Chains A and B, each alone.
Chain A
Amino acid sequence: MAAATTVRGGARTGAPRRVPRPVRPQWRTRAEIAFFITPALVLFALFVVVPVIQAARYSVFAWNGLGPLENFVGFENYTRALGDPVFISAISHNLTIVVLSILIQLPLGLLIALLLNRDLWGRTAMRVIIFIPYVLAEVVAGVVWAMLLQPRGPVNAILEAVGLGEATQLWLADPGIVMVTVMVVLTWKYLGLAIILFLAGLQGVPEDLYEAAQLDGASWWQVQRKITVPLLGPTIRTWGFLSMIGSLQLFDMVWILTGGGPADSSITMAIYMIQQGTERSLYGYASAVAVILFGISFVLAVLYQVFVLRRDTRDAVPDKPRRRR
C-alpha cells in the first residue's frame, strides 16, 4: 500500500507538464471494449435489428406465414394499408391519444406534483396512492376497468346512486363514447408516471433560488411560474417523449378494454397489426403495417429530438466549454 501511494504521489509531482501515456497499448483497450460490448450487440442485433429487417422483407410479399416467400407484391401491401380507412382511423386514434395525453396529463400532473412537493399531511401516502395505477399490471388494470364499465356495472350504479342517472353510458359498447372512456382510463393509468417524474425533477431545483425569490417578495404562484416550471423543463420534455412513444405503440390496455371495437371505433395501429397478422394470417401485410408504425414512430421521435430535446442534449455535456459570443 505504502509503495503504491508513493508511486502515485511521485507521478503527480514528478511529471507536472505531461500526462503519462496510457500503459496499455491501444489494441488492448479496443479488445476490452469489444469484449464487453459484443454480448449486448449480439443480443440487440438478434432480437431487434434482424426482426426489423425481416419485417421489411416480409412486407413486400403476400404471405400467410406458411411455406416459402414466393409471391412478391412490391409496395402493394403499403398502398393497401394506407388506403384502408380502418388503418387510417387507427393512425388518427393514435395521434389523438398522443396529443390528448400531453394536453391532459401535463397540466394535471404538474399541478399535482407541485402540490405534493409542499409540506402537507399524508404526503407520502398520497404519493403512493397516485403512483399505484402505474405500477399495476396493464392487463389486471384493464380487466378491472372492463368490469367496472359494464352496462350494469359499478360505474353506472354509482352514477345512478348519486342522482346522475342521466349520465350513465354504455362506456365500452357505444362507438361514440368509447374513445373518451379509453382516454380516461389511460390518464388514470399513466398520470402517476408524469407525477413521479415531475416530483423527481422538482428535487433538482436548488433551494437557494426559492430563498432568493422569497427575499425578493415573490408569491408562491410567481415562484412556481418563473422558477420551478422553467427549471423543470428538461424533465417535462423527457416525459413528453416517453408519453408520445407510448401513445404511438399503445396496445395492451385498449386490447383488454375493447379489443379495438366496437366496429373499430377504438382501434390503434398495433391492434390493427395484430388483427391482420396473427388473427388473419396476413403476415406479409401485417409486416408492412409494422414498418409503417415503425416509420411513424421514428420520424416523430427524430422530430422531437431535433426540435424539443435539442437543448437538453446540448446541456447534457455541461463541462464542454462554450464559445463566447
Chain B
Amino acid sequence: MSRKFRTVAAVTGAAAVALAGCSGDAEGADGGGGGGGGDVQLTWWHNSNNEPGRGYYEQVAADFEADNPGVTISIEALEHEDMLTRLDAAFQTGDQPDIFMERGGGELADHVEAGLVMDITDAASETIETLGPSIAAGQVEDQVYALPFSLGVVGFWYNTSLFEEAGISDPPETMDDLYAAVDSLKDAGIEPISVGAGDLWPAAHYWYYFVIRECSQETLDQAATEMDLSDECFTRAGEDLEELIAAEPFNEGFLATPSQSGPTSASGLLATGQVAMELAGHWEPGVMQGLTDDGEGLGEDTGWFPFPAVDGAEGDQEAQMGGGDAWACSADAPPECVDFIEYLLSDEVQQGFAENDMGLPTNPAANDSVSDPALAELLQVRDSAPYVQLYLDTQFGENVGGAMNDEIGRLFAGQSDPQAIVDATQAAADREN
C-alpha cells in the first residue's frame, strides 16, 4: 500500500510527531558503535502492522538473530501513514532508526544529501547484482543507498463481469480501444472509470503515463537528472490527457473523490461494482478487500491490464510506471545493518514475502511464489517491460512533484492547459537550483 497516505497523515500529524519525539530519544541513534564481536542492537521500523506480515517479519528477525549471535533487533511495526509521519520527524532530528523504508527518487536524494542514509554500493554488491534493474529505485547518481524489496507497476484494475455486460471481450490495448470501451460502458449505463482526483496523485498518474508513452527513456532520464522539461513530448502528454478528460470517462464528482478511503472513494466505487475500472497500483486488491463487507473486494471479477499504447506516440509503448519500497540503513548504523537488509532480500525471505502476499518481490528467485493470478500477471508485465519509470512525483521530489500534481489537478478541473503543467513543474524545479 505504498501510496496510501497524505490526508489522514496530516490530521494525525501533530500527535504522531509528539509520539516520535518521546520514543526517538529512547531508541534512536543507539546501535552499538561498530567493532565486531560486541553486542549490537538494531532498530527496525516497518509498515507490515497486520498479520501475516507482522508475524513473518518477527520470525525473519528471530532467524537472523539466531544466525548472528550478539545481534538483537528491536522491531516497531507501524501503520503506514503513522510510519511516514514518524520517519519525517525522525529525519529532522537525526533520530532515525537503523533500518527504515525508502521510496527512491527525490525524497531519497534529499535524505542522502542531508547525510542520513548509508552508502551500501560496495557492502551489498552481491545483492545489488541479484536485483538487476530493480535496484534503480534505491539509487542516487549511480550509488546505491537502499535495496528495493517490493516493486509494483500501475495499470488498470477492472471488473470483468461489468466488461462482459457492456460487451467488451478483450481488455483495451490502445487508447482507441479504451475510448471504445468507455463508449460501450456508457451505453450500458455503467460509469467507466473512477479516479481519486481529490488526492491529486491518482489523477496525476494519467499524465505520468502519457509522458512515458510520448517521451523516450532518454528524455525522461534527462528530465530527472537535469530537471529539464523543455522537450515537446511533455506538452503532448498534456494534450493526450485533455483528450481523455474531454471524453468524460470519469465518475461523477471525481474532482472531490478520495483515492482509497471509504465506499465512495475511487477504490470503493470499483470494489462495489459502481464503476468498471480504475488506474491503480499493485496495492489495489488489498485496498478493495478492506472496503467490502465480505473482505473479498472484487473477488473473481478482478482483472488487470497495462496502460494502453498511444497511437503515433514516440515513447516506449511497453514501458511501465510504478514504484517500490526499499530497505535502507541509517548513516550511523553498525555494519550488521547491511547484513540484515541483505538477508531481507535473500531468496528465502523474499519467497516468504511473496507467499504472504506482502508485495511484489524484486528478487527474481521469488517470482514463482506469487500466487494471486492478477498479481502474477502484473509481475510478468513488470519483468518484461523495457524499463519501469518511477512515479514522476517521487522522482522529482516532494516539492517539484507537488507543484506538478497541483497543476495536473487543475487540468482535470478544466482550469489549466498542457503547457501550464510543464511550466509549473519547471518553475518549481528552477527555484530549487
Listed in ascending order, the chain A residues whose CB lies under 8 Å from chain B are 64-67, 86, 139, 147, 150-153, 170, 172-175, 178, 252, 255-256, 258-259, 261-265, 274-275, 278-282
Contacts and interface: CB of A to CB of B under 8 A. Distances in A.
Chain B CB within 10 A, most for which of A258, A261, A282: A261
A151 B92 contact: no
A275 B9 CA distance: 12
Contact of B10 (A153, A255, A282): A255
B127 interface: no
B253 interface: yes
Contacts of A67: 113-115
12 contacts: A66-B91, A67-B113, A172-B253, A172-B256, A174-B255, A255-B10, A262-B256, A262-B412, A263-B409, A263-B412, A264-B410, A279-B10
Contacts of B257: 173
A105 to B, nearest CB: 26
A36 to B, nearest CB: 28
A262 B406 contact: no
A262 B410 CA distance: 8
A66 B399 contact: no
Interface in B100-148: 110-111, 113-116
Given A262-B197, A275-B402, A282-B399, A170 B11 contact: no
B197 A66 contact: no
Chain A CB within 10 A, most for which of B256, B262, B403, B412: B256
B46 to A, nearest CB: 22
B198 interface: yes
A261 B114 contact: no
Nearest to A169: B253
B331 to A, nearest CB: 12
B254 interface: yes
A178 B255 CA distance: 11
Given A150-B264, A152-B252, A175-B413, 11 more contacts: A66-B111, A172-B256, A173-B256, A175-B415, A258-B256, A262-B255, A262-B256, A262-B412, A263-B409, A264-B406, A279-B10
A203 B254 CA distance: 50
Given A64-B399, A150-B264, A259 B198 contact: yes
A66 B94 CA distance: 9
Contacts of B399: 64, 280-282
B108 to A, nearest CB: 12
A265 to B, nearest CB: 8
A173 B110 contact: no
A263 B402 contact: no
A50 to B, nearest CB: 15
- 8 A-B pairs with the lowest CB-CB distances in the bound complex, closest first: A262-B255, A173-B253, A263-B413, A173-B256, A66-B114, A151-B253, A172-B256, A280-B402
B6 interface: yes
A200 B88 CA distance: 46
A153 B197 CA distance: 18
B273 interface: no
Contacts of A274: 10
Interface in B380-422: 398-399, 402-403, 406, 409-410, 412-413, 415-416
A28 to B, nearest CB: 39
B264 A173 contact: no
B74 interface: no
A262 B91 contact: no
Contacts of A282: 399
Contacts of B199: 259
A66 B253 contact: no
Contacts of B21: none
Contacts of A275: 402
B7 interface: yes
A65 B113 CA distance: 12
A160 to B, nearest CB: 14
Contacts of A258: 198, 256
Interface in B207-229: none
B28 interface: no
B317 to A, nearest CB: 31
A320 to B, nearest CB: 43
B13 interface: yes
A241 B370 CA distance: 62
Given A64-B399, A261-B198, A281 B110 contact: yes
Nearest to B92: A65
B253 A263 contact: no
A64 B110 CA distance: 8
A263 B412 CA distance: 8
A57 B246 CA distance: 47
Nearest to A170: B253
A65 B111 CA distance: 10
Nearest to A252: B11
A7 B409 CA distance: 81
A170 B413 contact: no
A152 B269 CA distance: 12
Given A173-B257, A175-B413, A264-B406, A279 B6 contact: yes
Contacts of A255: 10-11
Nearest to A65: B92
Given A255-B11, A274-B10, A279-B10, A261 B256 contact: yes
Interface string B236-276: 00000000000000001111110000101000000000000
